[in-house]
Amino acid sequence: MKVPLIERLNNKFKACKTSQKNSIVNIYTSDNKSWTIYVRLGRIVWATGGTHRFRRWYRLMDRYCSNIDLKTIQAGNIVDFLCEYSLLNVLLNEGKIERPKAISLIENIVIEVLFEILQSESKIIQVSLEEWEQQKSQQFNNPIVYINSEVTLKKSQDLWQAWCNVSLAHISPDLALLLIEPEQLKNSTDSKTYQKISVLANGKKTLRDLAFITKQDLLTLTLFFLPYVQKNIIKWQEVPDFVSPLRLIKRNKLKSSQTKTTALKRTNKVNQKLIFCVDDSPQVCHIMQQILTGSDYRFIDIQKPLEVLPKLIEHKPDLVFLDITMPITNGYEICSQIRKISNFKDIPIVILTSNDRIVDRVRAKMVGASEFLTKPIESEKILAVANRLLNTKFKDIEESYTMIEMPS
């Protein structure tokens, strides 16, 4: 009789605890998926692998430390096959992330990995236990956190059981949603729900991503979308993993090195990103100019809304900060007009406003805004958004996360 997976995993963890050896639990499936769980002194210290190893890490990084700029991290001491954990150690040592947040991030990664393993039980062909090579795993000599394997496995099992109880066993949280019948959706629901589903079901973000974005429970969110899938209005869609964070860091280092070897200031000036600020307030434009030019961005302010499109076509900026309330027209209308120009359908647009209502955020997203910032202007927030949209991992990987309220 085949031993249930949950029992096999528990037995492996107990064996680690009994031996007190530093061990690795490897899990392999028939469809070439694999996971690795690192155990030290009988407790889990890290887990990795699966379909979305890096996507998972980026999402949880955005949840617990969204202001981290990978461009500022040195790759010298980062171990390739443990790059996510190595990066956390670097960030902790440099004081860029608080230990409680790093611990929460790791705990959530372990729970997600265990959930994936439990969901793949029918395809698992091997669960092995081996000692880790001390030289290759020095990162765990002083772990960030020791996680109780029994408690965490029980948490993952409870989540998996709840998933199964509502007949979702065949649906992976790593699947994305793609709207395939917009007209049918429009005819079967109210306009507000239609607009919000159209934004969320874009085929790019997984169920786990959407749960984070909307601040919804993963199970509740999935059950909301399920009827639309069953009616063939929306379909499940696989999405690829993101690029390794170590690869991004090395790419940024290479770009930085190439920039340093450029001798002429004129050339450096051309390579600087150009940012537009569209606001009828001279004071706001002046503050934005001081903030952005002080961080080596080129800057052009536009105080007359009717000049936006001509100047946009002429100068081709890399990012636009756009005020909502202006004479003649408003920021929503301008954003919508910009998105209708094919050359600018992907340009990052950040809405600036004194209003912070969910309806304003949703409307901003509906007209194609990439981000939503509330006034008064704060230099740290402005630079964090600009750096994220133009220079860091989220620009290289995918559009940045934007908070959207789920339909009720």
CB 369 within 8 A of CB 341: no
pLDDT value, residue 267: 42
CA distances in angstroms from 184 to 176, 200, 226, listed in the order given:
20, 16, 15
Q: Are strands 234-237 and 298-302 parallel, antiparallel or unpaired?
A: unpaired
Question: Rounded CA gap, 83 and 10, in Å?
Answer: 27
CB 317 within 8 A of CB 324: no
Domain 263-397 CATH assignment equals 3.40.50.2300:
yes
CA distances in angstroms from 17 to 10, 37, 59, 200, 220, listed in the order given:
11, 14, 31, 44, 36
pLDDT value, residue 392: 43
pLDDT value, residue 283: 85
For residue 316, the SS3 value is coil
Tracing tokens 């996680």 back to the chain, one arrives at 147
For the whole prediction, is pTM greater than 0.85?
A: no
Give the bridge partners for 372, in sequence order: 351
pLDDT value, residue 317: 92
pLDDT value, residue 263: 41
- The pair of structure tokens assigned to 385 is 């958004």
Candidates 373, 368, 397, 367; CA nearest to 386 is: 373
Which parts of 65-167 fold into alpha helices (H)? 83-93, 99-119, 149-165
pLDDT value, residue 247: 73
Look up residue 232 and give its amino acid: N
Mind listing the pLDDT tens digit for each residue in 37-62?
A: 999 888 999 999 999 999 999 899 98
Question: Rounded CA gap, 212 and 403, in Å?
Answer: 9
pLDDT value, residue 237: 93
CB 370 within 8 A of CB 349: yes
Residue 344 has a CB neighbour count (10 Å cut-off) of 18
DSSP state of 369: -
Question: Rounded CA gap, 235 and 178, in Å?
Answer: 5
pLDDT value, residue 42: 85
Mind listing the pLDDT tens digit for each residue in 303-319?
A: 988 889 999 988 899 99
Task: Using 70 as the pLDDT threshold, list the residues of the chain that sit under it.
Answer: 1, 69-81, 133-138, 248-271, 391-408
pLDDT value, residue 71: 60
CB 322 within 8 A of CB 349: yes
